[in-house]
Structure 1
Amino acid sequence: MAGWFKALLQKPRKSPDPSSHVDGAPAYLPSSPSPPLQRSSGSLPRSLTNSPKLVTSTSWIASRPDSARWSKLYDVCICHSEGDLEFVEQLVAYLESQPEHFRCFLQLRDSAPGSAVVTELCNAVQNSHCWVLLITPNFLKDPWCCYQMHHALTEAPMANGRTIPVLKDIDRRDYPRELRCIYYISVVLQENGFRQIKETVMRYLQDLCQNPRSRD
């Protein structure tokens, strides 16, 4: 065996950089349309570990009645499977208890009694700034969840920060193909996941209020 080839085989492999591991790392949607993933047979959805500085002051969304925030009834619509209702109720309670008082649409709570479910959902999607898609094993098996996902994507096909996929208890390989050009949030610790969702919604609303015409 050639000496150079033998030496190559014996060369120790470089250990992976722990900073490149995305599971559990902060993952935020960009304020501009997400760049498409490079074409690859093994391409996976990506999360961001570095994001622009977030202005934490609530003055940009709290006071002026003519703010672009009030152009819609809800700040965020939660799209989920009924099997994940407990987690979603905790998320909604968290968002609504924040100083920003996020206005959330939760279907079982906020739909008008006796109204058509499809109509209520369509109205909620159209009247929300952002949509959280809770992607779980239950979500993937539920045709109704797929309908919700496609309706949100139809409303904002450029994925300009309004669609917020949240991965929970699934392998990244099972992430829906329709969402693979959109950055996601991976929930490992619930507290961190809730905080990342809040900051993503805040970033979108902040950009909306500062540049309302760019979001038309």
Structure 2
Amino acid sequence: MSGLSTGTVDDCEGCENLHELDLHYNQITEIEKHAFVNITNLTILDIFRNLFPVYILQNYQFDAFISYAEDNTRFILDDVIPRLETENVSLCLHQRDFLPGNAISDNIIHAIQSSRRTVVILSIAFLRSKWCMYEFNMARMESIYSRGEDISLVIVMLEPVPNSTLPLEMLRWIQENSYIEYTIDHEGNDLFWNKLKRVITT
């Protein structure tokens, strides 16, 4: 990402640190389950509070960080930006707002922490991208460990995605927190954008 690509790892030319961050769903869940359980006098909650500081009365830089696959860029340019930014919703987009020269992982964490919500544009292409899945997992952990009762991760189902293709933690998140389904139906489309704006800004 970082203005380069949100496709698969192989698509991300110029990502010098990519081999150091070859994280996918199974690896991240192993981190959550096993990485720190034997550290004396520390709990997983303590550790993630250090990784993701709790924001009290936070004035966020952005209303939403939009996490999406490169294949869905047209949807972002033609629909998301015009429908939300014209309504004074400030968006963080990797191709536009990530800082050049910073590690991709640092840009992602900063985008999540400085945004009121992280909006995942879920598609088959999203599931195939390791960087997108990294963003989902980091946003999920931020919501769980740092935002208290404020659920900061929002899933937008851009296209039908079979449950069988979803990683366990994503399926669990959707089942417990629901999602917003995108539709091109005229009346349903207006309702979708109104609901998404409301979820992001409240």
Match of 1:84 in 2: 72
1:71 is paired with a residue whose SS is coil
User: Can you list the C-alpha shifts for 1:142-200, whole angstroms capped at 9, x where unaligned?
Assistant: 11111100000111116734211011222352453242211101112176457535434
Q: Given residue 137 of structure 1, which amino acid in structure 2 is its aligned partner?
A: I
* Structure holding more helix per residue: 2
Unaligned runs of 5+ in 2: 1-56
Number of aligned residue pairs: give it: 136
Q: Specify which of 177, 182, 186 is matched with residue 177 of structure 2.
A: 182
Q: TM-score, normalised on structure 1?
A: 0.56
Is residue 94 of structure 1 aligned with residue 83 of structure 2? Answer: yes
Of the two, which has the highest radius of gyration?
A: 1
Q: How many percent identity over aligned positions?
A: 19
- Higher RCO by CA contacts (8 Å cutoff, separation 6 or greater): 1
Q: How far apart are residue 117 of structure 1 and its match?
A: 1.4
Using a 3 Å threshold, how does the CA distance of structure 1 residues 186 and 121 change in structure 2: closer, same or farther? same
Is residue 124 of structure 1 aligned with residue 119 of structure 2? Answer: no
User: Can you list the C-alpha shifts for 1:10-65, whole angstroms capped at 9, x where unaligned?
Assistant: xxxxxxxxxxxxxxxxxxxxxxxxxxxxxxxxxxxxxxxxxxxxxxxxxxxxxxxx
Query: 2-side partners of 1:161 and 1:194: how far apart?
Result: 24
Q: Specify which of 132, 139, 142 is matched with residue 155 of structure 1.
A: 142
Q: Given residue 110 of structure 1, which amino acid in structure 2 is its aligned partner?
A: D
Q: How far apart are residue 96 of structure 1 and its match?
A: 0.4
Q: Specify which of 165, 182, 195 is matched with residue 199 of structure 1.
A: 195
1:189 is paired with a residue whose SS is coil
Q: How far apart are residue 94 of structure 1 and its match?
A: 1.5
RMSD: 2.4
Query: Does the CA-based 8 Å contact 2:182-2:192 persist in structure 1?
Result: no
Is residue 72 of structure 1 aligned with residue 66 of structure 2? Answer: no
